[in-house]
Structure 1
Amino acid sequence: MRKIKAKKITAENFSAYGSFTDLLNPQGICLGDFYPDRLLEPAKTALPMAFSPLIVRKPEHMEIHTVEYHNYTGEILLPLDTDVVIHVAPASNVLVPEKTEAFIVPKGTIVRFNAGVYHYCPYSIEKDEGRVLIVLPERTYMNDCCVFEYEEKDCMEIVL
């Protein structure tokens, strides 16, 4: 199984997939103690945004067998109580497992995936079980979620 190395998320190495900001250590322009507009998700739908908890686990091996993407919306992910590893691959009309990258996301860092970016459930790297907030338009998981299982030859393992 091919191995990919998880790297620290930075504005430069993640820009092709979306954006992020550290909510626990805000920087930049502020209005006193208020740091406005740190991460934007364009409103592309009349559906309300849904805030959904996700339980993530620390596996013995961080193996990638499954990916998903959304055609019409980005996805927001916020690790609440554990650092996580995410994996992404560029938006494409075909699966591109060979272009997969993995990033370490510290708790309190809100991440936005662009529409079309391949991704899946993050892995906890601190706690056996952690909590992540997922933000998507209501019922995206039912009406705009394309899920794919990789062939065995395309599966990979993330290493720290």
Structure 2
Amino acid sequence: MRIIKANPLTKESFAPYGEYASIQKPTGNHIGSFYPDQVHLSVSGDLPVAFSPLVCEKSDKMIITTAEFHNTTAEGLLVLDDDVVLHVAPPSKDPVPELTEAFIVPQGTMIKLNIGVWHFAAMPINKDKAHVLIVLPERIYVNDCTIVEYDEKDHMEVQI
């Protein structure tokens, strides 16, 4: 099994996959205490945007066995109450587990994944459960979600 290192989140290293901003410690352009347009999320068609809670459970080891992508929309993830590891791989027609990278995402961070980026559920670092708010067009997980179980030879363990 291949080992991959979870790296700190930086604008440069995460740029191929999307963008992010700290919600708890915002920086940049502001009007008083309001920080507008920190993360941009393009969605498909006329579907309303839906906000869905995801409860991520901690396991003994961070093993990547699965990935998914959306072909018509970006995805937003707001990490609420624990630091997490998020694994991503570049958009492609076929799975590219060999290109997988992992990032440490601090709690309170809003992530935008670009259209087509391979990913799966975040993995809690400190707590037994982490809560993540998922932002996608309504029912896109039924209409536009390709999920792939990797062959065992492509499984990866993430280390911090």
TM bin (shorter chain): over 0.9
Equivalent residue runs for 1:135-150 within 5 Å? 135-150=135-150
Per-residue CA distance 1:24-43 (angstroms, 9 max, x = gap): 11111110111100001124
Counterpart for residue 13 of structure 2: 13
- Aligned pairs for 1:53-68 (under 5 A) are 53-68=53-68
Alignment of 1:1-160 (within 5 A): 1-160=1-160
Return 5+ residue gaps in structure 1 as ranges: none
C-alpha separation between the residues in 1 aligned to 2:145 and 2:28?
A: 35
Q: Identity of paired residues, percent?
A: 52
**Count of aligned residue pairs for this structure pair:** 160
Q: How much has 1:98 moved relative to structure 2?
A: 0.6
Task: Tell me the amino acid that sits aligned with residue 112 of structure 1.
Answer: K
**Stretches of structure 2 lacking an aligned partner (at least 5 in a row):** none
Query: How far did 1:53 drift?
Result: 0.3
Give the C-alpha shift of residue 81 in structure 1.
Answer: 0.6
What TM-score, normalized to structure 2?
A: 0.98
Q: Assess, with a 3 A threshold, how the Cα gap between structure 1 residues 138 and 113 changes in structure 2: closer, same or farther.
A: same
- How far, CA to CA, are the matches of 2:159 and 2:60 in structure 1? 11
Amino acid at match of 1:68: E
Q: 1: distance between equivalents of 2:18 and 2:45?
A: 19
Extract structure 1 runs of 4+ deviating beyond 3 A: none
RMSD: 0.7
Q: CA deviation at 1:137?
A: 0.2
Distance 2:87 2:46 in 1: 29
Secondary structure at the residue paired with 1:21? strand
Q: Which one-letter code corresponds to 2:6 in the other structure?
A: A
Matched AA of 1:113? L
Query: What letter is aligned with 2:73?
Result: T
Aligned mates of 2:5, 2:84 — CA distance in 1: 14
Residues 70-103 of structure 1 show CA distances to partners (whole Å, capped at 9, x for unaligned) of 0000110011111110000000111111100000
Supply the AA of the counterpart residue of 1:140: I
TM-score, L = length of structure 1: 0.98
The one-letter code matched in structure 1 to 2:118 is Y
